[in-house]
Amino acid sequence: MIVQALVFYLFSAVVIGAAVMVISARNPVHSVLFLILAFFNAAGLFVLMGAEFIAMILVVVYVGAVAVLFLFVVMMLDIGFVEMRQGFLQYLPLGGLVGIVLLAELLVVTGGWLFAPQIGGARAFPTPPPEQITNTDALGRILYTDYIYLFQGAGMVLLVAMVGAIVLTLRARPGVRKQRISDQIDRRREDTIQIRKIQPGSGV
């Protein structure tokens, strides 16, 4: 138990430190690298909880695909972050207000768990599945029954993020000819084909 507690506190401290560095690092590439570090340590926490499948998915999907995609997008965009930070003070009051609202919500939820633990059914971890139910089976039953709407909402958020990344990386270059389906459909035979009568022996 002592070793598990020490490993838990170690992983938790690294996750919190990496999360702070994600939002405080000036270089966006460094932010993505700290995000990968946070994912790895969060996977370690899932292993301690006995959710090996979630830990594997976190490493394979988020570290191996999503975080690397973030890194590639940040490197491809080549955004002038110095210019973006010039208006930081302008949005500071709005950002502070959003942060205060989120902090108040967290305090309300935490206070409800502390002062009324009998109604905090979501506080306790789900009971371990029986021997005949695997970890993957139990996770699928929970995701597609109790949290199906939240699961679909997360999918929509990822879809919007993917579309936004595509729009940001799409750059219009002058002088590049593009296909226009509407012009092809509206094209008439008289506009593209010209019939000429050539006399024999006169050439073209």
Q: Same structural domain for residues 53 and 91? A: no
Q: Same structural domain for residues 23 and 45? A: yes
In a domain, 11, yes or no: yes
- Please tell me the pTM assigned to this model: 0.52
80 pLDDT exceeds 80? Answer: no
Domain with 96, as residue range(s), is 84-116
Q: Same structural domain for residues 91 and 138? A: no
122 pLDDT exceeds 50? Answer: no
Q: Which of 55, 41, 43 is nearest to 10 (CA)?
A: 41
Q: Same structural domain for residues 71 and 101? A: no
Q: For residue 124, what pLDDT is reported? A: 45
Q: Same structural domain for residues 75 and 89? A: no
Q: Which of the residue ranges 27-31, 71-75, 157-161, 185-189 would you say has the lowest mean pLDDT?
A: 71-75
Helix axes 28-48, 68-77, angle to 10 degrees: 170
126 pLDDT exceeds 60? Answer: no
Q: What does the block give as tokens for 116?
A: 């009324």
Cβ proximity of 29 and 71 under 8 Å: yes
Cβ of 43: how many Cβ atoms within 10 Å?
21
In a domain, 96, yes or no: yes
Q: What is the CATH number of the domain that holds 75?
A: 1.20.120.1200
Cβ proximity of 16 and 28 under 8 Å: no
At 32, give phi and psi (nearest 5°): -65, -40
Q: Supply the Cα-derived Rg of the chain in whole angstroms.
A: 28
**Alpha-carbon separation of residue 64 from 39, 40, 71, 185 (angstroms):** 10, 11, 11, 43
Q: Which of 22, 14, 2 is nearest to 45 (CA)?
A: 14
Q: Residue 123: which pLDDT band, with cuts at 50, 70 and 90?
A: very low
**Averaged pLDDT, 166-179:** 75
Q: Same structural domain for residues 52 and 88? A: no
74 pLDDT exceeds 60? Answer: yes
Q: Same structural domain for residues 100 and 138? A: no
**Averaged pLDDT, 62-70:** 77
Q: Residue 180: which pLDDT band, with cuts at 50, 70 and 90?
A: confident
**Averaged pLDDT, 131-153:** 81
Q: Same structural domain for residues 65 and 88? A: no
In a domain, 202, yes or no: no
Q: How many domains does the chain have?
A: 3
Cβ proximity of 30 and 70 under 8 Å: no
Q: How many residues does the chain have?
A: 204
DSSP, collapsed to helix, strand or coil, labels residue 175 as coil
Q: Residue 62: which pLDDT band, with cuts at 50, 70 and 90?
A: confident
190 pLDDT exceeds 60? Answer: yes
Q: What is the pLDDT of residues 8-54, one digit of tens each?
A: 888 899 999 989 988 888 777 788 888 888 888 888 888 888 778 88
